[in-house]
Structure formats: structure tokens, C-alpha cells
Amino acid sequence: MTDSAARTAGWFADVDPDEFDGLDDRDAGDARDARDGSTVVTAIREGQTETPQDWPTLAVDDEFADDEAAYYDRLHDATMAATRAAVTEREAADDRQLVHAVRAMDDCERTANELAERLVEWAGTVDPDAGTGVSFARELARGDHELESESEPITSLAERVVDLADEAADLREFVERQTPTIAPNLAALAGPVLAARLISLAGGLEDVAKKPSGTIQVLGAEDALFAHLRGHAPSPKHGLIYVHDAVRGTHPDERGSAARAVAGKLSIAARVDHYSGERKPELDAELAERIETIQARTAEDGDRGDSGGETDE
């Protein structure tokens, strides 16, 4: 690589040296300004090159800085501003975006199902062979199913249902992709969608992290919980986390234990995600081990004449 080619690969190549006046103030204050206004921040965050060079020497040769010390001073200002902008952006975006995405996903799914029911009822009046649900809407929209008497409004409604179902699927994909970057441990333990629902119901990742595990255990079972507190119902064993394989896959007699164990690990995972952000794979193993122990209890009993209650889907 020639010297000039090497220089253009450095972060300082296209940076306006004047920008460093006042970068310090901005980086202490509003990261948004630094992000929008500065080629420095963009250069650090978005630049790429395969091979590192002796940047300090090249920058001095290039008259970007008077000497090595001045170069390092600028590098410090630049990396501070760029990293602050990146951190602010990642942190501000994430869990709020996720809450909206998972709520929109649920709304789309629910609405698609409701409209599909309406569609089926309507289509049944003109065609006795009408199918059911969203899959029937798809057949209609694709033209795989011809109604006995053609009805334009019914076909049009079917198309809307399909669009909504597709939107819900896209949102689910988004949630599955985003949750692990925001809450890596919670997503790994609960699955991305359940993790996102817990964050949504609690109000944010920080709120999940600050809840006791007993609350996480019954999140989503508020009606049952308050009925219990009023004194005319047993306490709920599980809320949202019922859909977790470790809870649903456990014999009903032991589901309370399983739900307690899952909620405990999920609350630890949420705390790690919120306060450190580091992935801790040992949590997965600990939960798996605990659930195995719990499920082993009923497996033993089951051998002694359980009336076939183990048929879980």
C-alpha cells in the first residue's frame, strides 16, 4: 500500500481539524449534537479498513496534528465523542423500540385473527365450503379458493387479513432479532418473544430488573392475583411465563415449582442485562439443571400409575 493510500484509510483522513474546537464541550453535553454535526464522529463510527497502520506517524506527516501528543489528544476527544454518541443511541433506542414492536405485533396478530373470523362468517353465507382462519384468507387472496358466487368485498377483506398477518410476522422477526441485542441473557433464557413481552408488560428492561422474581412469576396474571388478594381464589402459579417450555412442559403438579425456578433465573438474567450487559451462558445451564430436577420428581411418580397426564402436545 502506498503512503497516500494508507493515509486515506485512517480515521482522520477526511476529518475537518476545525471541528475539534468545542468537541470537548459537546461531548460532555448533548451527544446528539456531536452525532449530527460532526464528521469526526462519523469517521470513527463508520470507517473501516482491513489493515492497521502507524496512524500517529501518518497523521503527523499529513499535518493533521503537530506532533504525536497532539494527535493522541485529538484521538481521545474523537473516540470519547463517537463512543458517547454510539452508546446514547443504542441505549435510548432499544428497549422502548422493542416495547412498541412487541405490542404492535400482538395487535396485528389479534386483529388479523378477529378479521379472519369475520371473513369466514361472511364467506360462509355465499359458499358452504369456506375454510377457517387466516389460512383461509390466504387461499382466498391467492385465488386458490374460488367462492361459489364471486364477491369482491369479501376477497378484498381477505387481502387485508393477509397483509396484517404478514405485518405481524415481520414484527415477530424484528423482535426476535432485536431482543438478544438488548437483553442477551433474558432472551436466551426466555426466548426472544417472551423476553420482549415481559419487558413490555413491566414497562422496560430496567423495570424487569427491579422487580422481585415473585412479581415476574405472575406478570400477566393480574386478574387471578387480585382475586387471590381479595381472598376468594388460590394464588396464581404463573403468568406470561406459562408459555416457557420449562413451565408448560412440566407436569401440572410441579408447575408451581417450575414457574418459581424460571422466574428466579429470568429476574437474574434481566439484572445482568440491565446492569452489566454481558452474556452469562452459565445461567442457561443452571436453569436447565434445576428444571431437570423438578421434572424428575413427576417422572418417578409417573412410572407408578399416573393416568397419562404427560401428553403435552
Partner 1 sequence: MSDDLPAGVERHPFDGTDRLATRGDPVYGEPTDGDWRAWNPTRSKLGAMLELEMDTGLEGGDEETVLYLGAASGTTVSHVADFAGPTYAVEFAARPARDLLETAASRPRLFPLLADARKPATYAHVVESNVDAIVQDVATRGQARVALENRRFLADDGRLLLAIKARSEDVTRDPEDVFADVRAELEAEYEILETSRLEQYHADHLGVVARPRSQ
Name the residue with cell 386483529.
Answer: 111
Using CB under 8 A as the binding rule, whether residue 51 contacts partner 1 is answered as yes
Within 127-190, residue ranges assigned H as helices are 133-142, 152-182, 184-190
Specify the residue, 10 or 192, whose C-beta has the smaller distance to partner 1.
10
CB neighbourhood size of 152 (10 A): 7
Q: Which of 25, 73, 146, 253 binds partner 1 (CB under 8 A)?
A: 73
Query: What is the C-alpha separation between 95 and 100, in angstroms, rounded?
Result: 9
Specify the residue, 9 or 193, whose C-beta has the smaller distance to partner 1.
9
How many chain residues touch partner 1 (CB under 8 A)?
42
* Environment class of 78 (CB within 10 Å of its CB; exposed 0-12, middle 13-18, buried 19+): buried
**Which among 205, 190, 171 is positioned nearest to 95, based on CA atoms?**
205
**Cα-Cα-Cα-Cα dihedral of 180, 181, 184, 186, to 10°?**
-60
Specify the residue, 229 or 285, whose C-beta has the smaller distance to partner 1.
285
Interface positions, 82-101, toward partner 1 (CB under 8 A): 82-84, 86-87, 90-91, 94
For every residue of 149-165, DSSP letters joined together read S--HHHHHHHHHHHHHH
Length of the chain: 313
C-alpha cell at 12: 482522520
The region of 77-85, 168-176, 237-245, 261-269 touching partner 1 under the rule CB under 8 A is 77-85
Specify the residue, 74 or 138, whose C-beta has the smaller distance to partner 1.
74
> Going residue by residue from 262 to 291, which x/- string records binding to partner 1, judged by CB under 8 A?
-----------xxxxxxxxxx-xx------
Using CB under 8 A as the binding rule, whether residue 49 contacts partner 1 is answered as yes
What backbone torsions phi and psi does residue 281 show, to the nearest 5 degrees? -65, -20
Specify the residue, 95 or 254, whose C-beta has the smaller distance to partner 1.
95
Q: Which of 1, 4, 16, 72 binds partner 1 (CB under 8 A)?
A: 72
Q: How far is the CB of 46 from partner 1 (least distance, A)?
A: 9
Sites of contact with partner 1 (CB under 8 A): 9-11, 43-45, 47-56, 72-73, 75-76, 79-80, 82-84, 86-87, 90-91, 94, 273-282, 284-285
